[in-house]
Each structure stands twice: as structure tokens, then as C-alpha cells.
Amino acid sequence: MRIGSGHHRHCIDEQTARRILGFERRVPLSPGEMARSLRVTFYPVHTASERVRAFAGQLRQALARCDVEVLDFDQARDPHRHDRLQEGLVVIAPGESPIGNLPIDHVPNLRKTTIVGIVDGPCPAEEGTTDQAKLNAVVRTLGWYVVQTVIYVDDNTWTVCTMNGAIIPCSRGAGMAADVLSILVPKLAAPVVPPHAADFEVRPGALDLGDPRYAPYVDDFVRSGPLWEKTDLFLFHTSLEALDFRSPFYKRIVAAYLDHRSGMSYGFLARQTAVSVQPANVLEDRPGSLDEAADPLVTVNLAGKSYRMEIPDVWVFTTRSGCDKAHLDPRRDVLLMGLSHGRVIFETPKGLDPRIDCRPSYDTLTILAHAVGNAVVASALARIHPTTSFALEMQNRGCALAHWHGSVDRQLLPEGYAVYGDANPPVSCSTHQAALFALMGKITALNETLGKGSEFRGDLHVEPHHGVNMTGRSLVELAEWALRALAR
């Protein structure tokens, strides 16, 4: 369901959601808003097939029809450094360019620029026999061209591939502009950008995994690992060392963009700690002078009533980026993240070997958005249905969250599970948009559940063309459910 669909007002408004998550600026959430937020230029063609040249012309026209601002290349140059491009652009590069004159050679900041390569021929993922082989084929192209997105073009189709594993074939027919707006534009307006430690409050060595309070959470990771391995849902780490680069310089650029990680991994496991659940207050007559921005409480609208609640700090154990989730060593692979008044806190284990590549998950913001959403749901349910199992579980044990690429047979979901996100634009779960969709959508899913007179026991957040985030009682229970579902 689309956020807010079927309702005269949102269950939680975007400004409130952004305040909870600490997002100072608005981000575009609809494809139309995303299109109008983009500034695109086409890199001059050096060597390209006629098929690629023709497609680039069609793409330029389609983007313009979608209200994307398309700049001539000279307009896109930095007026102070003519050999550099302005920041904040999408640079689309048809065909091949020589070493030293790739788009990356003219970009001032890869974190603030998205480069798209257009490559002749069918997507190499079509030849892959496994999801892992398909992913590896695409990532090799991304590394060789030093781009974040690649479009493969043949006579009848164009296939969009991103560094988060999305592979989306589209037709070159009359509906191309519609696909550009609904599929490509969201990928460009909400690109995958690895979080840097500088984005958060980092507390090195602050996590004492020997603390008895943490034992149940750490044990959940360790016991669930072998079960998740049997599911084959998690793709392996893609190492930078396994990729070919045209020069050591380009490899250094990619390493810096990835926050000096050793590569990219896909999917995450997270374990939210217990939350002090305070029942929300019913707001019978909302004062017209209420200043939401200055008030520490937030308002959510559920089942025809408004509820006021305080947002507690939430804490989540996660796996470090790139680790082997099936064979965890808690002393090096488990981290603690928190969200406190919109500030993200990141704690690493005490005594961690400094040689360990200890980085926060790409999906940090979405993980924390789910965690704070779970706290909001528990607070509301503690007032509306005080004996509901979800609120009691959150109070006593917390909950678990797992993300994998792919889909789920919804007929096999446990009773009481809400599903949301199908109609959202297809963004990666490393983006601000995904975090907002997670938080706002979870609360709207609760409202839908209440409207049906059902009990809310968990949820499945669908990220179109990408994967799913599933909330449950524990990682072990989620893995056991996945194994049963896959065996059907």
C-alpha cells in the first residue's frame, strides 16, 4: 500500500517522521518529486555503438518528459574549474572513455554525484546460474567503468543495475518514459551512498559484550547463524580484491567511496533490545497552537483518534558490514547502534582488534527507522490493546529484524503480519527515503490492522525491485520461519 493510502490524513506526517530520524532536510518521496529534484548531464561520447548512441538520445528525451532538468555538458561544468563538473549532478556516460578521461576524472565528490554508464549488449546477469553469479557479473561492470549504476542496452530491452544488487529489465517500447519515471528516476534521486563513521557519534570500544544484559541478544545472533546459512538468502561479500580496475587510481577512488571497506555485502541481521514502553496518551481535542517542531512529544493518528507519545531511545545490535553472518564471532562481528533524539550512536566492541574492518551497515538508517517504528507501535498498542503480545514482547525482549534480497510468499506469513511498501518507489534501504518509508509505512500498517480488528504481531516491509525487511520476535524464529517457507 502507498503511504497514507485510503486515509484523509497521514498516520504520521513527514515532518514528524524526519524529526524522529534526525533528517534536517526534506527528501523527495514520490517519483514526480524525485524527477524534479534531479539535474542530469550526458558525458560526451568517445566510443559507443550506434545502439548505445540511439538509446542515449531516447533516454535524454524521456528524462526531459519526466520534468528532469537536463543540462548540456558545458552548462554542467564548474565555472571556477572548467575541467571539473558541478556537485549534485547525475552524469550519464554512453559507451567507453579512455583512462584519464572517464567521468570519475571530472567529478569533485563521488558521494554527491551519481555516475551512470550505458553499456552495449545484454545484461551479463542473464548468463548467471545463481543470484551470486548474477550479482558478481554486475559488480564487475560497476568497478570497471567506475560507476554506481549501469544500463545494459540491446535491441529490445534496457536493464538497470545498481550497486545494491538491483537488476531490472525494461522494454524499449512506447512505455519507456513511464519506466524511466517509475524505475530509473528513484534510483538516481535516492542513490546508494555508504555511511561514513563521520556521519554518526562513534564510541570506539564502548560496547562491553560481556555484560550479562546483552547475553540473550548476542546468543540470538550466534544460534541463528547456521539456520540463516541453510536458507541461502544472504549473498556473499563481494571483495574489492576480486574486481578488475583500469588503474590503481580508480581502485583507490572506489575504496574511498566505500568508506575504505573491503567490499560490499548484501542483507543484514539486527536485534533490537527491550524498550521501556509507555502507553500513548489520547489527544481528544488537539490544541491549534501546538508547535510540533518544538514539542518533545509526537502525534500519530490511529483508528480515528490522535495519540501523543514520547519517543524513547532505541538500541539495536547489528552485524558489522561485510562479516560472515552464518559464522559470527561476537567479539568482532557484533556492533551496537542507537537513535537518541535524532542522533545516531555507533558503538564498537571493547578490545576489538584495530585491524578489523569495522563499519556500520549501509542500511543503518533503515534499521533504526524500523526500531523506532517498533517503539511507536508498542506505545500505541499499550494504550489501545494493553495485553497485546507485540507491546509485551517489546517491553520484555525487544524484537529482531532481517533483510534479504528477494521476495516472500505472503500466503506463508505468520498470522497477524502486516505487509506494506509495494507501491513505494524502488529505492535501496541505504537511503533516507527507505528509512522514511519504513517508519511511516509501519505506523500506517498498524492503522490498517486496527481497522480490520486484527492483532498486530509483526510486519514485512517490501522494497520493490530490491528485497524485504521482516520484523519478528527473534532472529532464530525468523530463520526457522524462512526455512519452513522455503521448504514449501
Q: Is pLDDT larger for residue 328 or for residue 226?
A: 226
Q: Which CATH architecture has domain 195-487?
A: 3-Layer(aba) Sandwich (3.40)
Q: What is the pLDDT of residues 62-80, one digit of tens each?
A: 999 999 999 999 999 999 8
Among 370, 380, 335, smallest CA distance to 460 is for 370
**Mean per-residue pLDDT for 466-474?**
94
User: Looking at residue 92, what is its pLDDT?
Assistant: 98
User: Looking at residue 320, what is its pLDDT?
Assistant: 78
CA distance 25 to 111: 17
Residue ranges of the domains in the chain? 31-189, 195-487
**Mean per-residue pLDDT for 128-134?**
69
User: Looking at residue 428, what is its pLDDT?
Assistant: 84
CA distance 308 to 449: 19
CA distance 138 to 134: 7
Fold of 31-189: Rossmann fold (3.40.50)
Percent of the chain with pLDDT over 90: 63
Please say if the pLDDT value at position 254 is more than 70.
yes
Report the helix count and the strand count for the chain, using DSSP H and E.
14, 23
Please say if the pLDDT value at position 482 is more than 50.
yes
CA angle, 306 then 311 then 314, to 5°: 140
User: Looking at residue 374, what is its pLDDT?
Assistant: 98
Q: What is the pLDDT of residues 192-212, one digit of tens each?
A: 777 777 788 989 889 998 899
Q: What is the pLDDT of residues 154-186, one digit of tens each?
A: 999 999 998 777 889 999 877 899 999 999 999
**Residue 333 grid coordinates:** 562481528
CA distance 392 to 371: 15
Residue 249: pLDDT band with limits 50, 70, 90: confident
* Average pLDDT, rounded, for the chain: 88
**DSSP label at residue 86:** P
Please say if the pLDDT value at position 8 is more than 60.
no
User: Looking at residue 442, what is its pLDDT?
Assistant: 97
Please say if the pLDDT value at position 332 is more than 50.
yes
Compute the radius of gyration of the chain from its Cα atoms: 23
Residue 258: pLDDT band with limits 50, 70, 90: low
Q: Which helix (H) or strand (E) holds 216?
A: helix 215-231
- Give the number of other Cβ atoms within 10 Å of residue 368's Cβ: 27
User: Looking at residue 1, what is its pLDDT?
Assistant: 33
